[in-house]
Structure 1
């Protein structure tokens, strides 16, 4: 099996944070997948365009980062469609149908409905970079030496995760590149 890791970033695009991620990825010729929140796409279209121009994949993460367990079925589907419409307006040449549910929450009914139009993408490794009670070192240890070919890692290009992300991402890229891995977009 090819030694590939799939890095994914949720919640952006966010000024400075997403741009930091893009700069780090470029250092290693790494590609990644960015699951974007529709509101952030509207606020930061130029950053989303930079993501696409860098050869990365963009995906849908709902328009307002809603939780499936707290949002009525029809409203949740509207959130997904609104984000998809925004993605297509901001980056018209992007035809992705990737979707990641915020917080990893989906009901069976939503999953069944969404699979008709989207490829639902979860993850194999969560860094908890969004948890501000965790030190950056702890977040890094949740990955160091644990990733295997085909791992899908979720990080967050958000203000909440920024401190931990800025510590974890350079170490992850350096460590796994030195171990012979490459990073590809989904």
Structure 2
């Protein structure tokens, strides 16, 4: 089992392409590429921690959950500022929608939340966040921050093992350096 991280897909967001450098011809192409990359990366035994802003905030509750069910192995959803629902109301109630998540892995402590400004002052580990899209680096070793926005990941989830490898290298990385995905639909 592999744990993957990703944030800020903004599925069905009609305004996103106008205000971001995403180079898709339209929202349908963006949605298709994101879902395809997700499914090509995540296997049936893997888990995905989602860092917020799954879809556009004006979509219906039903469409929001349709996306939740379509994306393979979504295990935890951190609520972003564009996610319209406070808690899981899925029929099976298996997916937690939370404000933050803490965990340890390979000797590192991680605090995950949509905006890194939400991290407690006394936390002394690595902050995993979304929200800033391409405006913050993927890995900021000086400030112990990992930006899991899809915009710096190459439009596909990143494994926690890959993140730990980059942490151990200790470099500042504007974008995830290794991705082999073809982004054309």
**Would you tell me which structure has more strand in proportion to its own residues?**
2
TM-score (ref. length: structure 2): 0.42
Q: Which has the higher helix share?
A: 1
Q: Which of 1 and 2 has higher RCO (CA within 8 Å, sep 6+)? A: 1
